[in-house]
Structure 1
């Protein structure tokens, strides 16, 4: 397994196992995460603290379900396609 694949496996495990503490060492200081909602124009988290709080909120929210649909790894880059499902109690 490559280093990139190991990081992706660890990252996915944080969500699939609802173990948000696994994210602490995986997020870069210059992290940027853009999502499609729930706001009309999506949401954006910038920097370690915002991204960690956002990802930990998602990973620990019992109203959200995660399914990994595809992982594509090319050297030190990776793309994960997830399906995220939620209930009306979704809070992130």
Structure 2
């Protein structure tokens, strides 16, 4: 049963960003939630607690210019993986993944990682 609950929580989480509806997030975040964003690379920024995580995610969900494309979501027990593409609104984008942990119907951990441009490497022949 835990996998179904996790899948439902993550589905609602994704809807907040896809529909630009930050109010959806209020009931999804645990008081002790920890979130790590993708910026600044390479270590990102760590947010701890309900208020910090909610404020970050609400601002992201409310932005009318940027948007997410969810590429895939996998739930396994109390864990989930979300593969996504974040579109900047100017034609640029970045692909990434969130590693989610759900406990008692709330998100307790969300770790975000993304691809970033590196040094040019020669293409295989």
Aligned-residue offset at 1:63: 2.5
- Counterpart of 2:11 (choices 6, 9, 12) is 9
Summarize the alignment of residues 66-77 of structure 1 with structure 2, pairs less than 5 Å apart: 66-77=68-79
- SS of 2:27 mapped into structure 1: coil
Q: Which has the higher helix share?
A: 1
Summarize the alignment of residues 1-92 of structure 1 with structure 2, pairs less than 5 Å apart: 2-37=4-39, 39-40=40-41, 41-87=43-89
Aligned-residue offset at 1:87: 4.3
- SS of 2:85 mapped into structure 1: strand
Q: Which has the higher strand share?
A: 2
The root-mean-square deviation of aligned C-alpha atoms, in Å, is 1.8
Gaps of 5+ in 1: none
Aligned-residue offset at 1:42: 2.4
Gaps of 5+ in 2: 91-125
Aligned residues: 87
Q: Rg: which structure is higher?
A: 2
1:11-30 CA-partner distances (Å, limit 9, x unpaired): 11111011000000101111
Distance 1:61 1:15 in 2: 9
- SS of 2:31 mapped into structure 1: coil
Q: TM-score, normalised by structure 1?
A: 0.83
